[in-house]
Structure 1
Amino acid sequence: MNPKWWKESVVYQIYPISFMDSNGDGIGDLRGIMSKLDYLQNLGIDVIWVCPIYKSPNHDNGYDISDYCDIMKEFGTMDDFDRLLQEMHLRGMKLMMDLVLNHTSHEHPWFIESRSSKDNPKRDYYIWRKGKNGGPPNNWESYFSGSVWELDPQTDEYYLHLYSKFQPDLNWDNPVVIDKLHEMVQWWLKKGIDGFRFDAVAHIVKTEGFPDALNPGGTQTVRAYDMFSNLANVHTLLQNLHDQVLYFYDIMTVGETSGLGPEQALDYVGDGRRELNMTFQFEHMFLDAASAGSGKWDVVPWSLLELKKIISNWQTVLHNRGWNANYLCNHDQPRSVSRFGNDLFYRIPSAKMLATFTHMLEGTPYIYQGEEIGMTNIAFDSIDDYRDVETLNYYEEKRSKGLPEAEIMGAIHKKSRDNARTPMQWDDGDEGGFTTGVPWIKVNSNYMEINAANAVKDPDSIYNYYKKLIELRKKHKVIVYGDYKLLLPEDTEIYVYTRTLEDQQLLVILNFFEREPVFELPPEITPGTLELLISNYTPQKEENLSYLKLRPYEARVYLRRLYSV
């Protein structure tokens, strides 16, 4: 089973601008994070993943870096960072940095020089091309709408940006760029950090010659996405990074690699590949998209059968060959309880059920800030209250095409990245205890009910349920390393699976909806052999375990011993 500390860890993701403000300017900061370390330690967190805190003009909330070796002034200073890292380590927690290697900010000194003239020594640090037929070099589309190319009048050439025009892509065909990025990665490792989440790492290589996509936003194999995602040379570059830098440190690495299945993921995380420990897969994040080519905004009901198929495929293919990163929410996705649960009438049981689901799978579980207290999506009435560049671009694009305001806002309420970016709700005081000033984005109005202070003191809260899940994971190796097997693959309401390691087996029973289906125990399992480890409901007296009528969003985990040793 090849034990590793990062396999046995539980990760908590912090979006720093929204986590905790220490100085009343409405923006979360490093000292704010420091003030909440005891809260995270009490929860049982092993690793804290902090989204970008580097110096940045903040066009995309820190994912546009202008200096890799400095701290954004709104977040604090490098001294604050050093103290934060020290305080984490004193509590037995590790720090994983979020690092963007695909692009920088347009304000990075490299790009300022690169765009200054065609013969500047740093011109080739980025990707520049002449226009074609009076327009961009090709028809590739940006993640944030429009062309990936931006014309720079100073030199009358286009630079490539897969994301916003403020995020020019680095040229990984330039060995000088690679050396400088390696040096920067090593600089952080020497400071004592414990790992990296590599943002957009699947995109660092682009198709040679930059040919047109025949179906830019569609589903054919010649769509633009396939021209800059998961190309073969990405693996060579990551192996070089591993062999020359990462190998010499006992760290945790996870890559953001969309658009692949588990067999392709093994190219990144397979044992012996010398690349990454795990990747974030996105297949389950498109369950509620109308089609692969329609984009995330065209929302349809998701299917439990499809969720089972996707998760089971990743669980079985990677078992003993790679490692999964299990999540339902992050800074780019809607709140999990609003998306996969029921945030109105069954918020607490459905949030607990979803937590049970991710924590009992094989792989490292990731908790996104606020998920542990059941924070929900936001539905601002006005587009003026939104801050996310992707959301604002979508709104402008659809309004220009004449779509009704209500239709556009309906999609934004479901899928905007700002759903996960409203401030952490710490207590029922002003602004949810996040700041004494005016927050950079409005606090969800339900903070009076949903907040960490209430959750910590309530023994039956979502927070304390997460705490118990984490305690169980540390106690039972079968939760970490057990082999996964799906039961009832065609059941449209109940998700049941087992995890087996040596003489121990988990039976995980999850009702994903508000109806009350009946679960019949498989004949090979005797009720008397089952020990209830955790449930989000109080077990009913004298219930028949062979024939369980499940309550809305009910979750149960049983432990059984298979044989005596």
Structure 2
Amino acid sequence: MTSVPVDEERRWWKEAVVYQIYPRSFNDTDGDGVGDILGIIEKVDYLDDLGVDCIWLNPVYESPNADNGYDISDYRAIMDEFGTMSEWEELRDALHERGIRLIMDLVVNHTSDEHAWFVNSRASTDADKRDYYWWREGRDPEKTDLDADDYDTPDNVEEVPPNNWESFFGGPAWTYDDQTGEWYLHLFDRKQPDLNWENEAVRNDVFEMMEWWLDHGIDGFRMDVINLISKPDGLPDADPENDIKTIDRAVNGPQIHDYLGEMRDRVLDADLLTVGEMVGDEMPMETARQYVTPGPDGDGLSMIFHFEHMLLDQGDEVWELVEWELPDLKAVMDRWQVGLGDEGWNSLYLNNHDQPRQVSRFGNDDEYRRESAKLLATLLHTLRGTPYIYQGEELGMTNYPFDSLDEVRDVATRNPIRNAIGAGIIDGFDDVKDIVRAKSRDNARTPMQWDDSEHAGFTDGNPWIGVNPNNDRINVEAERADSESVWHYYRDLTSLRKDRDVVVYGDYEPLTPDHESLWVYTRTLEAEDEHDTLLVVLNFDSDETTFEPPADIAGDSAEILISNYDVEVDTVESTTLQPWEARVYDLT
């Protein structure tokens, strides 16, 4: 193992592999069809065997579940469906005893409308916490382009919302409240009112809550849609005529760095893993660096989740799907590898609870499911940054074959489709079925596939969402018994990351940015007169592809460090790669 360069600071979260658990779908122990904390405790040894270093736990807080836990009604309580605080503490301790850290979801752009703050806020226009949220008077429809008939208001109310913003879940981003005669802002579901971070009292309460969880022994936060907390001055209308949408208005607001800087100074430290979810289109690299630069010159987050590669196949509406090519994906990833190469740190992911399964989206989930799942894993674990494994990814789990809207649970899918049907844009679910199968967030939320039983070993009851019928062949029990499985390949990758510093800290150099099938790059680490180099060769194709090595390394001595096909070499030379073949050459 080489030493880390003198200008590179070791951090545990740089060297870690993070495993994301969506508790509702992980493991159910009480038969109610919903995963629970005891179910995670039951599988802690499984996580340890896989070799992961940290768990990101999606929300387990008290919530009415309008958005599956991302509408929090009490930040300091555990939802009854999931368990109790003492059980959460037992989980924390079980993980820590095995050297596995734990980070929690921080959801502070909005709360539930059942949170005590909002209940107080909507009680009257002079309530103590009225300014904890965004309340505004409506507008005269005669003075805007908005149609009052498009909004769900009482018959005696002849006004439209304060601006024309649309919710990210479909429909208006404002809801009229007849109790006080004003409108409140919700960038997501109407049961998720946005907090007003301009109010110092809001910030104080949020920071105190964060400190409370840190005092309870967590190791960091994943910060949900954190770049939405600062709203633009005056809340201006979006301008569809010039392709300006709500999200363009709402992201990276004018005070975002002030708020995160205050959070950094009051709550955070460099040893915590803090990853900010940054929604929106292409982010200027200067803005990204500001988020991850240590203070006082930056916001001090460990890393961010950007969405550029997640938007490659996204059209303007939920029922639109855009074709993408491998050079498009490489261009995005290369921009971030280079852009944050020396001045920040990357998160590495291709799926999570908000995205479809990576092998169905970026690989081949049919004939070459196993090979492409391993190739995608090779990519994520050999780029520079911290890799995130989403539950079931280590099995090569695939998207779900939805046949009706009744099978869909996600409001981000249901709402836009219902609105489109109501507006006559589409006739029914069959018009968008292929898109739902390809893109719905529910693809990632089907239960973890533990075995080949009726409900995949997830529950003894009726699961809250359907189990993928391919659990008869894709499941933990079968994969652990097969030494050539995707699961064992993931375990080899987590081991490799611990064994070789070059995998973590090495410089990244892309070699085939324009090739339509091959993604080839080197990772190089030079420190204390030592030189360590890996060559990564990936064939993103269901056909064989010829690999011609660059002239400066052709013929060099090498061995295969890891590969998804059985291959041995002693030099780097021209070769024919099999479909979805992945090779990591050790050139050291």
Q: Which TM-score applies when normalising by structure 1?
A: 0.96
Deviation of 1:302 after TM superposition, in Å, equals 1.4
Aligned-partner SS, 1:527: coil
Q: After the TM superposition, which segments of 4 or more aligned residues of structure 1 sit over 3 Å from their partners?
A: 542-545
Structure 1 pair 468–318 and aligned structure 2 pair: CA distance change class (3 A): same
User: Within 5 A, what are the aligned runs for 1:95-244?
Assistant: 95-133=102-140, 134-215=159-240, 220=243, 222-244=244-266
Residue equivalent to 1:256: 277
Deviation of 1:219 after TM superposition, in Å, equals 6.6
Residue equivalent to 2:58: 51
Instruction: In structure 2, list runs of 5 or more residues that go unmatched.
Output: 1-7, 141-158
CA-to-aligned-CA distance 1:100-128 (integer Å, 9 cap, x gap): 01000000011011101111111111110
Measured in 1, the distance between the counterparts of 2:513 and 2:108 equals 40
Measured in 2, the distance between the counterparts of 1:512 and 1:84 equals 39
Residue equivalent to 1:367: 389
Residue equivalent to 2:147: none
Tell me, yes or no, if the aligned pair for 2:543 and 2:579 is still in contact at 8 Å. yes
Q: Which of 491, 494, 508 pairs up with 1:470?
A: 494
Instruction: In structure 1, list runs of 5 or more residues that go unmatched.
Output: none
Deviation of 1:543 after TM superposition, in Å, equals 9.5
Structure 1 pair 89–543 and aligned structure 2 pair: CA distance change class (3 A): closer
CA-to-aligned-CA distance 1:321-354 (integer Å, 9 cap, x gap): 0000000000000100000001111000000000
Measured in 2, the distance between the counterparts of 1:511 and 1:538 equals 15
Tell me, yes or no, if the aligned pair for 1:149 and 1:158 is still in contact at 8 Å. yes
Residue equivalent to 2:293: 270
Tell me, yes or no, if the aligned pair for 1:127 and 1:171 is still in contact at 8 Å. yes
Deviation of 1:250 after TM superposition, in Å, equals 2.9
Q: How large is the Cα RMSD of the aligned pairs?
A: 1.4
Residue equivalent to 1:479: 503
Tell me, yes or no, if the aligned pair for 2:521 and 2:535 is still in contact at 8 Å. yes
Aligned-partner SS, 1:197: strand
CA-to-aligned-CA distance 1:238-273 (integer Å, 9 cap, x gap): 1101101113x7311000002224332111012441
2:580 paired with 1:558 = no
Q: Which TM-score applies when normalising by structure 2?
A: 0.92
Measured in 1, the distance between the counterparts of 2:508 and 2:41 equals 37
Deviation of 1:524 after TM superposition, in Å, equals 0.9
Measured in 2, the distance between the counterparts of 1:559 and 1:43 equals 23
Residue equivalent to 1:498: 522
User: Within 5 A, what are the aligned runs for 1:161-560?
Assistant: 161-215=186-240, 220=243, 222-247=244-269, 250-259=271-280, 260-272=283-295, 273-290=298-315, 294-402=316-424, 403-405=426-428, 406-502=430-526, 503-539=531-567, 545-560=572-587
Tell me, yes or no, if the aligned pair for 2:559 and 2:571 is still in contact at 8 Å. no
Measured in 2, the distance between the counterparts of 1:27 and 1:422 equals 11
Tell me, yes or no, if the aligned pair for 1:99 and 1:199 is still in contact at 8 Å. yes
CA-to-aligned-CA distance 1:191-222 (integer Å, 9 cap, x gap): 0000100001000011121121122xx774x4
Aligned-partner SS, 1:431: coil
Aligned-partner SS, 1:63: coil
Tell me, yes or no, if the aligned pair for 1:235 and 1:275 is still in contact at 8 Å. no
Tell me, yes or no, if the aligned pair for 2:104 and 2:221 is still in contact at 8 Å. yes
Tell me, yes or no, if the aligned pair for 2:507 and 2:525 is still in contact at 8 Å. yes
Structure 1 pair 281–296 and aligned structure 2 pair: CA distance change class (3 A): farther
Aligned-partner SS, 1:6: helix
Aligned-partner SS, 2:77: strand
Measured in 2, the distance between the counterparts of 1:5 and 1:401 equals 51
Aligned-partner SS, 1:485: strand
Structure 1 pair 154–385 and aligned structure 2 pair: CA distance change class (3 A): same
How many residues are paired up? 553
CA-to-aligned-CA distance 1:63-122 (integer Å, 9 cap, x gap): 000000000000000000011000000011000101101000000011011101111111
Deviation of 1:404 after TM superposition, in Å, equals 3.4
Deviation of 1:526 after TM superposition, in Å, equals 4.0
Measured in 1, the distance between the counterparts of 2:404 and 2:330 equals 37
Measured in 2, the distance between the counterparts of 1:553 and 1:68 equals 44
Deviation of 1:546 after TM superposition, in Å, equals 1.4
For 1:166, the aligned partner's letter is K
Measured in 2, the distance between the counterparts of 1:139 and 1:423 equals 38
Measured in 1, the distance between the counterparts of 2:321 and 2:233 equals 35
Tell me, yes or no, if the aligned pair for 2:519 and 2:538 is still in contact at 8 Å. yes
Aligned-partner SS, 1:69: strand
Structure 1 pair 317–58 and aligned structure 2 pair: CA distance change class (3 A): same
CA-to-aligned-CA distance 1:465-523 (integer Å, 9 cap, x gap): 00001101100000001111110221101110111101111100001110111001111
Tell me, yes or no, if the aligned pair for 1:286 and 1:296 is still in contact at 8 Å. no
Measured in 2, the distance between the counterparts of 1:545 and 1:381 equals 48
